[in-house]
């Protein structure tokens, strides 16, 4: 999200929320940081950044790209994934002007926290509920899909509260367009997780 | 993670990034598309308060072609990797078993 879309109060509140969430994530990861985790987090961040550059066309003249929160959470857990996604967003904002500096807090909140956690919680629940054989792929796909929809919904709420657009209209528009874009997220996440499972099974719990 | 597997993984990232840059769709993304439809795209700020060195994934003096985007992407991969390691070392590592991690990063 670029600067200019969100009001100052909404940007400030989102920044405060994302700062709090990030502080908790750092504490949690500190408690059980394993030796392998830091370089792995760096590599995952680099991969998510690279994959996010791929915008795939979606019907109707729009495009989507990977968010990567659920993919990262499956490998390093949701707390570390929040940190990884935050690092990607910071570099995209500072180096490439991809996302505004004032909106950075909101972008971290939507993608690194709400999207990653929403998607991961659905993934974890489905993985537990469904039988093993179809359970894993279904959980990966739906969790990844949901992460995009819930991140977009959070962004829509912020746009509505900022007075940028009418709340109900922008919410329905964002959720429905991202329900289609999320299918791409689900497919890419499933492909990468299946690939990792084959070449590095110890990475996928 | 061994040094060799880190290098191999980063090379894979570079290939993914180069392919992504070369084949990315230029359609607006979901938010931009809705902003245009609902008439609030004009509110987007043209530039950040601080200037980004490679805005819109283009290297200055290389223009806006594919080569420029690929170069920006590969530089980005290096920055994201080292930035994440830096972030983890500064903010996360502080009070945990640091020797083990130092060894693993080499």
Res. B104 pLDDT band, cuts 50 70 90: low
Give me the interface pTM, i.e. the ipTM: 0.90
Distances (CA, A) of B35 to A118, A135, A162, A164: 24, 37, 14, 9
> Among candidates A168, A154, A76, which has minimal Cα distance to A118?
A154
Which candidate in B81, B82, B93, B106 is best for mutational testing of the A interface (most A CBs within 10 A)?
A: B81
Residue B94's pLDDT band (cuts 50, 70, 90): low
Q: Identify the residue whose tokens are 């930035």.
A: B83
Length of chain A: 205
Sign, CA dihedral A29-A34-A35-A37, equals: negative
pLDDT tens track for A141-175: 999 999 999 999 999 999 999 999 999 999 999 99
Residues of A in Cβ contact (< 8 Å) with B43: 4-5, 164
CB contact under 8 A, A165 and B40: yes
Give mean pLDDT, residues A84-103.
93
pLDDT digits 0-9 by tens, B20-41: 888 888 889 999 999 999 999 8
Q: H or E stretch including A92?
A: helix A78-96
Tell me if A165 sits within 8 A of A202, measured CB to CB: no
Which of A33, A45, A96 lies at the smallest CB-CB distance from B57? A96
Q: Residue A95 and residue B79: Cβ atoms within 8 Å?
A: yes
Domains in chain A: ranges and CATH: 8-203 (1.10.1760.20)
Both tokens of residue A43?
A: 């590599």
Which pLDDT score is estimated for B47?
66
pLDDT of A26 above 70: yes
B-chain CB neighbours of A67 within 8 Å are none
3-state helix vs strand vs coil in chain B, percent to 5: 65, 0, 30
Q: What is the DSSP string of A7-66?
A: -HHHHHHHHHHHHHHHHHHHHHHHHT--TTHHHHHHHHHHHHHHHHT-PEEETTTEEE--
pTM comes to 0.92
- Residues of B within 8 A of A164 (CB-CB) are 40, 43
Q: What is the pLDDT of residue B57?
A: 83
pLDDT over 70, % of chain A:
98
Contacts of A170 in chain B (CB under 8 A): 34, 38
Residue B60, chain A, CB below 8 Å: the answer is no
Whether residue A120 is predicted with pLDDT greater than 90 in this model: the reply is: yes
- The full set of domain ranges for chain B reads 3-105
């Amino acid at each position: 999200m670029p600067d200019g879309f969100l009001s100052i109060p909404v940007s400030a509140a989102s920044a405060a929320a994302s700062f709090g969430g990030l502080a908790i994530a750092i504490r949690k990861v500190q408690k059980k940081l394993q030796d392998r985790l830091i370089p792995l987090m760096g590599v995952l961040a680099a991969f998510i950044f690279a994959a996010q550059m791929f915008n795939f066309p979606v019907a109707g003249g729009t495009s989507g790209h990977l968010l990567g929160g659920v993919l990262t959470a499956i490998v390093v857990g949701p707390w570390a994934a929040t940190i990884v996604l935050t690092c990607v967003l910071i570099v995209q904002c500072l180096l490439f002007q991809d996302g505004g500096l004032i909106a950075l807090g909101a972008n971290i909140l939507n993608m690194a926290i709400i999207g990653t956690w929403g998607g991961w919680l659905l993934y974890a629940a489905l993985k537990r509920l469904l039988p093993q054989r179809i359970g894993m792929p279904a959980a990966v796909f739906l969790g990844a899909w949901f992460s995009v929809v819930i991140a977009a919904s959070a962004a829509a709420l912020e746009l509505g509260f900022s007075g940028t657009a009418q709340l109900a209209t922008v919410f329905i528009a964002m959720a429905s367009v991202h329900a289609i874009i999320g299918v791409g997220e689900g497919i890419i996440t499933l492909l990468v997780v299946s690939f990792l499972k084959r070449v590095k099974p110890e990475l996928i719990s | 993670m061994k040094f060799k597997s880190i290098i191999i993984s980063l090379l894979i990232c570079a290939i993914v990034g180069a392919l992504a840059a070369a084949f990315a769709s230029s359609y607006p993304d979901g938010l931009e598309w809705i902003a245009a439809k609902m008439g609030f795209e004009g509110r987007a700020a043209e530039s950040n308060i601080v200037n980004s060195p490679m805005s819109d994934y283009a290297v200055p003096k290389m223009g806006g072609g594919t080569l420029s985007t690929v170069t920006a992407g590969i530089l980005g991969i290096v920055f994201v990797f080292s930035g994440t390691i830096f972030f983890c070392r500064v903010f996360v590592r502080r009070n945990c078993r640091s020797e083990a991690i130092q060894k693993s990063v080499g």
